[in-house]
Amino acid sequence: MLDSFFESLARNHDLYTEALGETAAMVVYSLFFSTMIGLFLGICLLVLRPNHIYENKLLYHLLNAVINVLRSVPFIIILIAIIPITKWIVHTTIGVKGAIVPLVFYTAPYIARLIESALLEVNPGVIEAFQAMGASRRQIIWRVILKEARPGVVLGLTIATIGLIGATAMAGVLGAGGLGDVAIRYGYQRWEPDVMYVCVIILILLVQLMQSAGSRISKKLRKH
């Protein structure tokens, strides 16, 4: 089996390189936009909650409900359900560009929850101390809460990235490209199991790499 693995890797080198590049593009672009949206929503979920610095119960419960609904929808359904929105935004529903929009819809609410959890770990006493010193609410968010929560935020983004890698593989079902698309078209439809095994192993290595990098960065931030 090991021999066939390396043989497939050498024979289809260009195919795997292109697929890996497409997967990386989907992950990078989707993670960037999802993090921007998720960070904003996560901060809102924290500061709007009862007894916090921007307390607003109505907005908090509304935002909380919307994020819960979005997180409940499986990615494959989002992929199909928002096809009109995807086409309107990027003018296509296939390829890497066509996958980014549903990936952002799927990942942003998930990141929002992970960010919220990380921010909730910040000691309330630290926030109260800065409030007593006259720090503005904006300063408390950017210089206290986010700074103290950096290790947890990094771990949360690591988990989100790993989930995003898995979602890009699912996006291959609708011709989004990447390793998932190659595994389906060659490994399943053309019945070339070696291709599927190579794609799976590459995905496993990517996940391990992301997990190791995220854990190391978080550990360094905790020391500081």
What's residue 103's pLDDT? 94
What's residue 195's pLDDT? 80
Residue 101 Rama label (left phi>0; alpha psi -120 to 50; beta): alpha
Domain ranges of the chain: 2-223
For helices 13-47 and 57-72, give the axis angle rounded to 10 degrees: 160
DSSP for 122-169 reads S-HHHHHHHHHTT--HHHIIIIIIHHHTHHHHHHHHHHHHHHHHHHHH
CATH 3.40.50.10890 fits domain 2-223: no
What's residue 162's pLDDT? 92
pLDDT at 132 over 60: yes
- Please tell me the distance from the alpha carbon of residue 180 to that of residue 193, in angstroms, as a whole number: 13
Residue that the structure tokens 């960070």 belong to: 39
Mean per-residue pLDDT over the chain, rounded? 87
Q: In sequence order, which ranges of 48-133 are alpha helices (DSSP H)?
A: 57-72, 75-81, 83-90, 95-120, 124-132
pTM for the structure as a whole:
0.89
Three-state DSSP at 18 gives helix
Three-state DSSP at 222 gives helix
Confidence of residue 116 (pLDDT cuts 50, 70, 90): very high
Query: Higher-confidence residue: 174 or 46?
Result: 46
- Counting other chains too, the contacts that 65-69 makes at CB distance below 8 Å and 24 or more residues apart are 67/41, 67/109, 67/112, 67/113
- Please tell me the distance from the alpha carbon of residue 192 to that of residue 23, in angstroms, as a whole number: 20
What's residue 218's pLDDT? 87
Q: Are 148 and 123 in contact (CB under 8 A)?
A: yes
Name, of 13-17, 52-56, 179-183, the range with top average pLDDT: 52-56
pLDDT at 118 over 70: yes
Name, of 82-96, 151-165, 192-206, the range with top average pLDDT: 151-165
133-151 residue pLDDT tens? 888 888 888 888 888 899 9
